[in-house]
């Protein structure tokens, strides 16, 4: 190992070792640093294998390492190549998509959004929705992947899927508008940790309090995205801004009410809420009528009527 002469925090990106290992064959040999007593130490592989060193660090209870920003572009190109493979099995597509999303979370939150990142997120959506659409039915897809993917990842895909089906109920439906909504689904919680997801789940299901910082997470993402309005649409940004708002004003971050809801946001919100409830009842689709009633109870109101009516049509078909 060699110690850095100066603090390179600005040039280094923190990344979970587990994520590097999952794509190890693509990252082989990149410069890796560990943070020891406030100083960055560059790893020296010597004769050891890249993965073996990373695993040894994990055994020492180290969860994260640091990589150079300049390597992130190459890594994104590698990821895009892996997830664009036409020969990948459904299982491989799902696994590489979830791993890629985890890596993109680290890159986007620390480096901002780039065209390469958006391309990867769009490919992830295309792949996962493709696997879902090729499955015999929704329940078959859930059965295949619910033990292999995290609930957060499945929620994101299912929200995208439901959103697209609801949008198709409207005469203005288009591929472009569906892509913008799906992009909101993978970006809306990109800055949240596993602990944040657990706290939000408790808030949604049991009404427990969440921190003010967590309530600000839509605005933090918007700040990142607004710097690149040339590659992220205003529709995607508004959906993310409003995805935790409620028609009675009890949502966050602004507690908006009534006409300030965008139509696409209402579709996204009711989709997300339906899926949250579906996950809560362990994906038991037989309970869909009860779930619809629960969603209607919270989200009824003039601005949500069209979205809820379309949701009912989609779920009952
Ligand atoms: Fe969120």
Q: Which of 24-28, 59-63, 68-72, 268-272 comes out lowest in average pLDDT?
A: 24-28
**Strand-pair partners of 68:** 12
Please report which confidence band the pLDDT of residue 98 belongs to, taking 50, 70 and 90 as the band edges: very high
Between CA 177 and CA 152 the distance in angstroms is 23
Q: What is the mean pLDDT of residues 2-29?
A: 73
Of 56, 54, 55, 4, the closest CA to residue 29 belongs to 54
Cβ neighbours for 55, distance < 8 A, ≥ 6 positions apart: 21
- State the DSSP code for 303: G
Residue-level pLDDT at 87: 83
Ligand 1 center–CA 60 separation, angstroms: 33
Per-residue pLDDT at 249 exceeds 60: yes
Sign of CA pseudo-dihedral 130, 133, 134, 135: positive
* Structure confidence by residue, pLDDT tens digits, 272-316: 999 999 999 988 988 999 999 999 998 987 789 999 999 999 999
Q: What residue spans in the chain does CATH classification 1.10.3210.10 cover?
A: 90-316
pTM: 0.90
Ligand 1 center–CA 286 separation, angstroms: 26
Ligand 1 center–CA 241 separation, angstroms: 9
Ligand 1 center–CA 188 separation, angstroms: 6
Q: Which of 45-49, 152-156, 224-228, 237-241 comes out lowest in average pLDDT?
A: 45-49
Per-residue pLDDT at 7 exceeds 60: no
Query: Do the Cβ atoms of 222 and 110 come closer than 8 Å?
Result: no
Ligand 1 center–CA 273 separation, angstroms: 11
Using CA atoms in the order 138, 139, 144, 149, what is the torsion angle rounded to 10 degrees? 70
Top-level CATH class of 90-316?
Answer: mainly alpha
Ligand 1 center–CA 243 separation, angstroms: 6
Query: Do the Cβ atoms of 228 and 142 come closer than 8 Å?
Result: no
Q: What is the mean pLDDT of residues 55-73?
A: 90
Per-residue pLDDT at 19 exceeds 80: yes
Of 253, 221, 245, 254, the closest CA to residue 303 belongs to 245
Ligand 1 center–CA 183 separation, angstroms: 13
Q: Which of 25-39, 77-91, 110-124, 182-196 comes out lowest in average pLDDT?
A: 25-39
């Amino acid at each position: 190992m060699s110690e850095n002469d100066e603090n390179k925090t600005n040039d280094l990106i923190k990344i979970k070792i587990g994520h590097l290992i999952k794509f190890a064959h693509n990252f082989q040999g990149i410069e890796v640093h560990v943070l020891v007593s406030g100083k960055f130490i560059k790893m020296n592989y010597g004769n050891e294998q890249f993965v073996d060193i990373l695993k040894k660090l994990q055994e020492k209870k180290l969860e994260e390492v640091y990589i150079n920003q300049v390597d992130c572009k190459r890594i994104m190109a590698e990821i895009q190549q892996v997830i664009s493979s036409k020969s990948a099995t459904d299982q491989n597509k799902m696994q590489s998509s979830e791993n890629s999303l985890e890596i993109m979370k680290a890159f986007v939150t620390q480096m901002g959004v780039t065209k390469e990142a958006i391309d990867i997120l769009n490919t992830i959506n295309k792949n996962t929705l493709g696997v879902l659409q090729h499955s015999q039915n929704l329940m078959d897809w859930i059965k295949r992947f619910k033990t292999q993917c995290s609930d957060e990842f499945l929620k994101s895909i299912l929200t995208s899927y439901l959103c697209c089906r609801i949008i198709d109920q409207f005469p203005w439906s288009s591929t472009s508008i569906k892509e913008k909504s799906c992009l909101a689904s993978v970006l809306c919680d990109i800055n949240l940790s596993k602990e944040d997801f657990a706290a939000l789940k408790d808030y949604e299901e049991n009404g427990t309090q969440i921190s003010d910082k967590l309530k600000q997470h839509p605005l933090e993402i918007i700040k990142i995205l607004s710097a690149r309005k040339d590659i992220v649409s205003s529709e995607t940004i508004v959906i993310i801004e409003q995805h935790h708002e409620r028609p009675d004003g009890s949502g966050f971050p602004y507690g908006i009410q009534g006409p300030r809801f965008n139509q696409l946001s209402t579709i996204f919100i009711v989709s997300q809420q339906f899926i949250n409830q579906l996950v809560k009842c362990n994906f038991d689709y037989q309970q869909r009528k009860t779930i619809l009633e629960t969603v209607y109870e919270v989200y009824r109101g003039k601005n949500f009527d069209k979205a809820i009516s379309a949701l009912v049509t989609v779920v009952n078909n």
